[in-house]
């Protein structure tokens, strides 16, 4: 912000603040750079003498300053102090270092679309806090937006309108800046948060084109265009034009909310910063999607490659173990016999049988490219390009992802293990059963005394 020396008529001390420079002048008064006793710098605005003499203005201004105290947010300049009972009312806000958006565009020209969207998202978020406090700014324009190192800041709530208060617009007079006023402000109707949305759309159009969307001209011409003509957005980037046009709708009900603006502008800023096309996702990098059939074919090819090892590749049927070639002579048949020999870890049920493809084999129409018929009528094996470059030339596997386990092999091993365990348990039980009777014979037994039988005659006593 450009600073000028104090003039002779300018005060040197206002309240507890000492004034150092003149920052600018507006429709309500003059803005000065001041500081308190602790050295805190403020932007202090002193109201014009003619407005200070209006009792109605003082009462309305008091309500608006009270509403401005409730605003909390990082995208606005915080209200520090105010004196509404002075001869010339004044208020001081936090000083924000940095140029205004108006000065920035005049210096460098139209801003990039990503920067415009980023500034717009921060401003929309600041307006959310302003509207939640029950305040409408009513004069949002490029000169009231400061580009600080911490982000854009909204300043100058001097003509802000509080909810429940009457408008400051007199009959036949529009308070604000032509070209950035909403149609309802020009007509003298009640203002709403949608009024600031219209001004934000005009501000974004100015940042993108270095010109007002309603052109240049006198105040009367500009106000007429705002009410009756459509905005000119030819220079606005295609990613921003639809959103800006929605903000500049004549009917307040047709404009988006500040929350919707913030989310949409952040999405545009992130996409344009990464150079992604319209409609691309911004949360993650865009990756091509492979068909499900192609993924199954590639998985089957990797499993088969890991199972067969370094089997020589050939275009004949015998080298692939095709049906109808088994048992026949010739070098190709020998190769086929070697490749058909199951290894210790490979069950025979996974070997492609005659006439029926394996369970994971995709249909021929869905196999990867390169697996068609060769010129001599034979088939060339469809081997997909490995993911790692080191494996492209048939290099042995040294690390990385391991092949998927064979479920049939795991099931067969589990059956064998359970069977062997049961056989061992049965053998131990049988051995213990055979040893039980033998040990019983070795035990001493008591002599058996026969009971006297009733049929046996008793011997006569010796007489």
CA distance 310 to 339: 10
Query: Which residues touch 232 (CB under 8 Å, ≥6 apart)?
Result: 213, 214, 215
CA distance 244 to 254: 12
* CB crowding 11-26: b at 16 or more within 10 Å, else e: eeebeebbbeebbbeb
Q: What is the CA radius of gyration of the chain?
A: 46
Token digits of residue 50: 């003619």
Q: Of 300, 297, 340, 346, nearest to 321 (Cα)?
A: 340
Which of 103, 139, 308, 310 does the annotation list as catalytic? 139
Question: 139 an active-site residue?
Answer: yes
The three-state DSSP-derived secondary structure of the chain is CCCECCCCCCCCEECCEEEEEEEEECCCEEEEEEECCCCCEEEEEEECHHHHCCHHHHHHHHHHHHHHCCCCCCCECCEEEEECCCCCCEEEEECCCCCEHHHHHHHHCCCCHHHHHHHHHHHHHHHHHHHHCCEECCCCCHHHEEEECCEEEECCCCCCEECCCCCCCCCCCCCCCCCCCCHHHHHCCCCCHHHHHHHHHHHHHHHHHCCCCCCCCCHHHHHHHHHHCCCCCCCCCCCCHHHHHHHCCCCHHHCCCHHHHHHHHHHHHHHHHHCCCCCCCCCCCCCCCCCHHHHHHHHHHHHHHHHHCCCCCCCCCHHHCCCCCCCCCCHHHHHHHHHHCCCCCCCHHHCCECCECCCCCCCHHHCCCCCCECCCCCECCCCCCCCCHHHCCCCCCCCCCCCCCCHHHHHHHHHHHHHHHHHHHHHHHHHHHHHHHHHHHCCCCCCCCCCCCCCCCCCCCCC
| Residue linked to tokens 């305040």 | 135
- Hey, which residues does 79 pair with through a beta bridge? 93
Is 148 within 8 Å of 76 (Cβ atoms)?
A: no
Which residues form the catalytic set? Answer: 139
């Amino acid at each position: 912000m450009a600073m000028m020396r104090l003039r002779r008529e300018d005060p040197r001390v206002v309240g507890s603040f000492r004034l150092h420079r003149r920052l600018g002048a507006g429709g309500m008064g003059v803005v000065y750079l001041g500081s308190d006793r602790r050295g805190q710098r403020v932007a202090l605005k002193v109201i014009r003498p003619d407005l200070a003499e209006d009792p109605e203005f003082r009462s309305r201004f008091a309500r608006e300053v009270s509403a401005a105290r409730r605003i909390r947010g990082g995208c606005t300049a915080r209200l520090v102090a105010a004196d509404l009972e002075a001869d010339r009312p004044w208020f001081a806000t936090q000083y924000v270092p940095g140029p205004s958006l108006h000065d920035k565009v005049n210096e460098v020209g139209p801003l990039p679309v990503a920067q415009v969207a980023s500034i717009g998202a921060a401003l929309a978020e600041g307006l959310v806090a302003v509207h939640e406090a029950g305040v409408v700014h009513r004069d949002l324009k490029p000169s009231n937006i400061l580009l600080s190192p911490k982000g854009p800041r909204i300043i100058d709530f001097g003509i802000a309108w509080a909810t429940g208060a009457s408008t400051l617009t007199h009959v036949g007079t529009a308070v604000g800046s032509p070209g950035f006023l909403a149609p309802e402000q020009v007509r003298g109707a009640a203002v709403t948060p949608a009024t600031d949305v219209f001004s934000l759309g005009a501000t974004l159009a100015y940042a993108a084109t270095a010109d007002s969307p309603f052109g240049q001209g006198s105040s009367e011409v500009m106000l007429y265009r705002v009410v009756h003509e459509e905005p000119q957005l030819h220079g606005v980037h295609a990613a921003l034009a639809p959103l800006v046009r929605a903000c500049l709708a004549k009917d307040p009900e047709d404009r988006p909310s500040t929350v919707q603006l913030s989310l949409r502008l952040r999405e545009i800023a992130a996409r344009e910063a990464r150079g992604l096309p319209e409609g691309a996702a911004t949360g993650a990098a865009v990756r091509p999607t492979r068909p499900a059939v192609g993924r199954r074919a590639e998985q089957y090819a990797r499993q088969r490659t890991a199972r067969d090892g370094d089997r020589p590749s050939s275009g004949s049927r015998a080298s692939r173990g095709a049906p109808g070639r088994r048992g026949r002579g010739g070098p190709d048949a020998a190769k086929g016999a070697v490749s058909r020999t199951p290894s210790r870890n490979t069950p025979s049920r996974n070997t492609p049988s005659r006439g029926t493809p394996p369970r994971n084999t995709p249909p021929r129409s869905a196999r990867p490219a390169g697996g068609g018929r060769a010129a001599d009528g034979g088939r060339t094996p469809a081997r997909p390009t490995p993911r790692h470059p080191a494996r492209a030339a048939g290099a042995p596997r040294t690390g990385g992802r391991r092949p998927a386990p064979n479920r049939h092999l795991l099931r067969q091993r589990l059956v064998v293990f359970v069977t062997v365990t049961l056989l061992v348990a049965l053998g131990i039980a049988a051995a213990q059963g055979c040893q039980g009777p033998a040990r019983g014979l070795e035990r001493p037994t008591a002599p058996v005394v026969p009971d006297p039988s009733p049929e046996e005659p008793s011997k006569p006593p010796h007489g």
